[in-house]
Each structure stands twice: as structure tokens, then as C-alpha cells.
Amino acid sequence: MAAAAPDLATIDAVLPTCRACPRLVAWREEVAVEKRAAFRDETYWGRPVPGFGDEHARVMMVGLAPAAHGGNRTGRLFTGDPSGDFLFAALHRTGFASQPTSRSRDDGLVLTGLRMAAPVRCAPPANAPTPSERHTCGPYLARELAILDPAVVVVLGGFGWKAVRATLAEQGWHVPRPRPVFGHGAEVVLTGSDAADARPPLTLLGCFHVSPHNTHTGRLTPAMLDAVLRRARVLGGLD
């Protein structure tokens, strides 16, 4: 990416041109050509998916990667797939989203107090990026975290947890050892790495991913997700 991207808008503009991961470039474009039958009349986005939401958010949400027929189709994270249906209904109930659904980039949805991003910005085969792909995409997430400087990062799932934890450690946050383990409702307060580092604390807040694997089995219920989001509002000083 452009090493000196000065703001979120610039990152969002540069990111869709990235072709750094050959396997993911091939997959995202293949999916965009072959399409799912239900969407055969649509033009898929088929590119890296930028962050979405409030550019002054106190809460950042980090998932895994765009879904092949969700974000990779619509060009907006969690938009147009069952995971997003579950997530945006909760974001609306808890005051972050202006509407309970997210269908397309031009559906008028506005997020307030929250911005969402992902450790990997291209749809991966089987929703499984490699460690190398996560490493290659890492600077985008790192830059967004550094610019946004959130009070809270809500992390959906263990993959995102490891990615955010590593990124924050690289940015000089003191991440305790043994490393904090992901769990639903896990809460870890990070501080600057030494006494001279007086930045305000940042809280990592774990949440099971909103994938159908979790929501269809009851592992993650609407009440559980709402509780995490309400906690994020409190930690972010929004309530």
C-alpha cells in the first residue's frame, strides 16, 4: 500500500487497486465472473473491500475477510450475506447503524460511532486466508488503527483477534504475556509500552464471529451480540 497514506479516505481509495496476493486476486476475480446463480444479473465488486463507517469512531470492529458473495459482490463489508444480516440488525438495535439491513453500497446506511475493517481485504477460498496473506494485508489494518485511534476494538472471531493483537503489539501497545486468549466477551485493556507512553488505554473486546456456523447453531445469539456491542458503547464513552 502507499506507505504514507494520510487519512482513511486515501486508504479507502487506494486499497481496491491492490493486487499483492496472487491467490486471492485470482479467487476474488473468478468468483466475480462465475457468480452465484441468485446474483447472476449483478456486477460483482471483485476487488479488495475497504473499511466502512464513521471516520471519527471510538469503536472499531474487525472481522476476518469479505465473503465471496457478500462483500466481494457488493463492495462493502458484511453487506449482502447472512452474517451481515445478523450483524447489522444488532448494530441497529444498539444504536450504531441507521437501519437494520445492509444490502448495497448505495442503500443509505450510516454507521455512527463505529467503523468496520478486516485483517484481510480480499475474499479468500473457504474463508481461510494464509498467514502470509494476513501478513501482506496487515499494513492496511495497521494504518487504519493508527489513524482512527479507537478506544475499543471489537474483534469478531479468533483470526481477527490474533491479527489485531499482533498489529497493536507492533504499534507499541503493551500486550501481556501469556498473550490474551480469544473468547466471547473477553476484555483486555492495553496501555502504552512504558511509563513515557501516556496514550489513553485501548480495550480489546472479543465476540464470536457472526458467521452462520455460529448464529445458526445458537453459539452466538442476538442477545449475546447485543451485550458485546452495548459494552463497546460504554467503553467507547458513547453511553
Which spans of this chain sit near ligand SF4 (rule: CB under 6 A)?
Answer: 15, 18-21, 24-25, 48, 120-122, 133, 136-137
Q: Reduced to 3 states, what is the DSSP secondary structure of residue 88?
A: helix
To the nearest whole angstrom, how small is the minimum distance from the Cβ of residue 70 to ligand SF4?
16
Distance in Å, CB of 2 to ligand SF4, minimum: 12
Q: Which is nearer to ligand SF4, 26 or 110 (CB)?
A: 26
Q: How far is the CB of 30 from ligand SF4 (least distance, A)?
A: 14
Residue number with CB closer to ligand SF4 (74 or 203): 74
Give, for 174, the enclosing helix (H) or strand (E): strand 173-174
First to last CA, the chain: 36
Q: What CA–CA distances, in Å, run from 201 to 4, 101, 113, 128, 185?
A: 25, 32, 18, 31, 18
Nearer to ligand SF4, 33 or 196 (CB): 33
Nearest distance in Å: CB 47, ligand SF4: 8
Q: Which is nearer to ligand SF4, 48 or 236 (CB)?
A: 48
Instruction: Of 198, 187, 204, 196, give the one whose Cα is nearest residue 151.
Output: 204
d(CA 218, CA 213): 9
